[in-house]
Chains A and B, each alone.
Chain A
Amino acid sequence: MSATPTADAPRPTADLPDPAPPAGPTGHGAVAHGATRAGRLSWWRGDAGEGARRNLGLIGVLVVLIVIGIATRPDLYGDSRWVWENVLTILKLASVVGVVTVGMTFVIIGGGIDLSVGAIVALAGVWATTLATQSFGAGGMIFTALTVGLAVGLVNGVLISYGRLVPFIATLAMLVAARGLAAEISDKQTQVSNNTTINDIAAAKLLGIPLLVYILAIVVAAGWVLLNRTTFGRRTVAVGGNPEAARLAGINVKRHTVLLYALSGLCCGIAAIMLTAQATSAQAAMANLYELDAIAAAIIGGTLLSGGRGTIVGSLLGVIIFSTITNLFAINGLSTEAQNMVKGGIIVAAVLIQQFQFGSLTRFLGRNRPTAAKV
């Protein structure tokens, strides 16, 4: 807080009273201090700095979790081959939810929410494993899953954009409807996948790393590029950050909103294939409560629930933190109930930290700056 002025601060002697306008002591003075304050803090408040700083915090949480793992099971952590295998287990565990979370991150940054992701995964999985679809082979199954995901996402988007439904309601309705349709299609049965190519996706390894982890990596990388380097990503931030400003700048907010939900649906289609491959089957109840995992991971990763801010890397770290906790409880032989309680606590803690950083801390700094200047 009492940082030294950085190179890009407009005036190195920022603590001196502003010499330019001989105005009232509070009026112009306050503005001048506001400006220099931002200059000083820009080393962590810059557009890239803020996200990076937060992600460092998430990595810190991961380190703590690993230390707890080492402390509770030193016997396992002594075996380096086990440690490597365990890392792959955690990543594999994170892969399916991770892919869904990338789509969810876009939707939330764009100012929406998608409660139907789990249901879309189930519908896409079930549709891809009907006997009729399976007869077209692996390509047909993948195409079906992706198309179903995309189509359902489009329906969500159109309902929200052009039907003016609140995202919460539209996707809640879709959650119910898509699971219903999945149950109908599958006749409430578990549909076994007989396609070895699909089933191999879960088992296959490349250079010792599961294919599922590669898929996650590709989706995350693509998501990162899309968000940070393309006009699509820029529109997403604009639409979520200030829809009216985006509209008045000529951005087609409605069309973009549709595309965001379609993207989320597409991610669900990819996840459906991955999950079907893991289970070598699909059923209407699969991917249960994935929406909560994905939303929680995005929030922990620093995505602002009101839209306009968030990072893909943060969301990925959020997912990995969750699977690390699951893993930590598994290797210690503890119950899922305790696990869920800890996860709930972590979600609350993450949001509290966010509020502290962006509410109290800035206000705290704002209050103290003028006093510091007088000293």
Chain B
Amino acid sequence: MTTDPTTGSGTSEIVLRLTDVVKTFPGVRALDGVQLEVRAGEVHCLLGQNGAGKSTLIKVLSGAHRPDSGRVEWLGQPVAFANPQAAMRAGIATIYQELDLVEDLSVAENAFLGHEPRRLGFVRRGQIARRTRDILGRLGHPEIPPGRAVRKLPAAGKQIVSMARALSHDARLIIMDEPSAVLAHDEVGNLFRIIRELTAQGIAVIYISHRMEEIREIGDRVTVLKDGRTTAANLPARTTPTRDLVSRMTGRSIEYVFPDRPAAPAESTELLRVDGLGRDGEFADVSLSVRAGEIVGIAGLVGSGRSELLETIFGARRAHTGTVRIAGRALRPGSVGAAVRAGLGMAPEERKSQALLLGEPIYRNVTLATFSRYARLGFTRAGREVAEADRIAGTLELRPRDVHRPVRTLSGGNQQKVVVGRWLLGDTRLLLLDEPTRGVDVGARAELYQVIRALAARGVGVLLVSSEVPEVLGLADRVLVMREGHVVREAPAGELDEDTVLDLVMAGSLMEGVPA
């Protein structure tokens, strides 16, 4: 069980082959020539930074998206899945990170959801239960009762139900999107045991994870994606040096244009001091500070606790431990209103769902945090708001500049300018930016970087979170690296390079554990 199960995968049949697959969305070329080859019975690891195109690739494979061009061959035949059901019927099952189970249905009902064996329109419950029991046995979990409601299972159990669903379809390829992210580390061993049993039965697995150790342990071959392209295919998972893998993930084709960093930020007042901040299960014992005019970057993956940290500083989540001080005064925990009054502003991670009123005009979105300040006796002053918003639109070079237009009609980059611009209106002293350039095209990115640097030059402190390491390194004065809820490194940006940071971000040994 501890030895290599299938070193000789080179001889088995190729089940899936992708050639030059391209998928574009308005403004983004999400996949730009992907090659991928998966053999029966192997664990094929997919590696890439956030935004490299992994999610889009999964969606193409699972039938949720159709590629614009390129070839997808499944079991030797060119295919184009019309929808996820078609891919499922063909034998490709996907286990998403957020498991798509119906919590209140039983294990068996979930396993056979959508393709229940039936007779005369009645579901054959006995048969479902029996077949589910068989499948659970195959997965090494005969102890899970098929009749138990999924809600009552722990995360690991739910994952097994997802796999049971895949097997109920007689899947020949199972795509697992960061399956270990929801598991405690002793459960990961169990997951690996199941994966080995699956591959021994000839089932291929595409395994996505940011944790290098897992790839080493379970993977057979690795394909690396970067900026929607395959930069390396079919590397041996156990023997390829980490450095090689990391450099294939980073070597940039898109040049980031960062504004010049001012020589050495003069000693300035400390704006933000965070001491021992923690939230159970999210992050623990985080201490940091931001001075006026300083840009502090936090590098970390999704799930490292970085967004949660930002929201907790902003009062959108209540800290379980620790304190937040703004210019020396303790901030009332769990109150966004108090944070805004103290001069904090935040551009949250999910622009559309957390920051914008999409149908409302631009100016009302820009003044969302400040309209009451312009109001007189409770009456809003639209003229003043439009003028202020237009001024901001000018500063940020918003395009188009017509502030009466609904914000929904703007491109991603310009929507982000609206969100950032919102905090330029008040007396914001500290700006928290969570993934400010996600979904923003290259040109608009450079503009946003300029804006952020210009803000800092005006004395605003900036705390920036990004999963794109070059962005953090290029923009920030000082960098904190977060992994699994802890700050693992803090250094001036000049002392770090991309590989080092990526190593720190990903090294993530499971043995270090998650905050209790």
Q: Which of A24, A31, A245, A250 contacts B339 (CB 8 A)?
A: A250
Contacts of A27 in B (CB 8 A): 24, 26-29
> Do the beta carbons of B336 and A248 come within 8 Å of each other?
yes
If A245-B354, A247-B316 touch, whether A30 touches B380 (CB-CB below 8 Å) is no
Please encode chain A, from 202 to 236, with 1 for each CB lying within 8 Å of some chain B CB and 0 for all others: 00000000000000000000000000011111100
**Contact across chains for B406 and A244 when beta carbons are under 8 A apart:** no
Taking CB atoms, residues of chain A closer than 8 Å to B361 are: 46-47
A27, A231, A232, A249, most chain B CB atoms within 10 A: A249
Contact across chains for A249 and B422 when beta carbons are under 8 A apart: yes
**A309 interface residue per 8 A CB criterion:** yes
| Known contacts A246-B368, A248-B354; A39 and B405 CB within 8 A of each other | yes
Min distance, Cβ B300 to any Cβ of chain A, angstroms? 21
Bound Cα distance A229, B380 (Å):
5
* B306 shortest CB reach to chain A, Å: 17
Q: Classify chain B: how many residues form its interface, as a range.
A: 35 or more
B422 touching A231 by the CB < 8 A rule? no
Q: Mask for A135-150, Cβ within 8 A of B = 1, else 0?
A: 0000000000000000
Of all chain A residues, which has the CB nearest B29? A27
Within the assembled complex, what's the spacing in Å between the Cα atoms of A212 and B160?
Answer: 66
Whole-angstrom distance between the Cβ of B476 and the nearest chain A Cβ:
23
Contact of B357 (CB < 8 Å), options: A38, A232, A242, A252? A242
Looking at the complex, which one of B316, B348, B409, B422 makes contact with A34 (CB distance below 8 Å)? B409
One of A34, A46, A242, A309 near B404 (C-beta < 8 A) = A46
> Does A8 make an interface contact (CB < 8 A)?
yes
Is A363 interfacial (CB 8 A cutoff)? no
Interface flags for A26-42 (1: CB within 8 Å of B; 0: not) read 11101100110111001
Contact B359 A241 (CB under 8 A): yes
Q: State how many angstroms separate the Cβ of B216 from the closest Cβ of chain A.
A: 37
Q: Which residues of A contact B375 (CB under 8 A)?
A: 230-231
Using a CB-CB cutoff of 8 Å, which residues 2-30 of chain B contact chain A?
A: 24, 26-29
The CA of A185 and the CA of B78, in the complex, are separated in Å by 76
A37 to B409, CA, bound (A): 9
- Contact at B359–A10, with CB atoms within 8 Å? no
Task: Indicate whether A245 sits within 8 Å of B29 (C-beta atoms), given known contacts A35-B411, A42-B404, A231-B378.
Answer: no
Residue A69 at the chain B interface, CB threshold 8 Å: no
Q: At the interface, yes or no: A21 with Cβ under 8 Å from chain B?
A: yes
Q: Is B372 an interface residue (CB 8 A)?
A: yes
Q: How many angstroms from the CA of A35 to the CA of B414 in the assembled complex? A: 11
A117 in contact (CB, < 8 A) = no
B402 adjacent to A21 (CB under 8 Å): no
A247 nearest in chain B by CB position: B336
Question: How far does the Cβ of B418 sit from chain A's closest Cβ, in whole Å?
Answer: 11
Cβ contact of A47, chosen from B26, B340, B360, B422, cutoff 8 A: B360
A142 to B375, alpha carbons, bound, how many Å? 32
Q: Which of A42, A233, A248, A251 has most chain B Cβ within 10 Å? A: A248
A21, B413: Cα distance in complex, Å? 15
In the assembled complex, which residues on chain A have CB atoms less than 8 Å from the CB atom of B409? 34-35, 37-38
**Which residues of B, 479-515, contact A by the 8 Å Cβ criterion?**
none
Question: In the assembled complex, which residues on chain B have CB atoms less than 8 Å from the CB atom of A238?
Answer: 357, 360, 368
Question: In the assembled complex, how far is the CB of residue B48 from the closest CB belonging to chain A, in whole angstroms?
Answer: 20
Contacts of A38 in B (CB 8 A): 405-406, 409
Per the bound structure, the CA–CA distance linking A102 and B318 in Å amounts to 37
* Interface contact A31-B26, CB-CB below 8 Å: yes
- Residue A188 at the chain B interface, CB threshold 8 Å: no
Alpha-carbon distance A27/B402, docked complex (angstroms): 23
Task: Specify the chain B residue showing the minimal Cβ separation from A38.
Answer: B409
Does A308 lie at the interface of the complex (its beta carbon under 8 Å from any beta carbon of B)?
Answer: yes
Which are the 7 A-B pairs with shortest beta-carbon distances? Answer: A250-B340, A38-B409, A249-B369, A30-B26, A249-B368, A241-B357, A10-B400
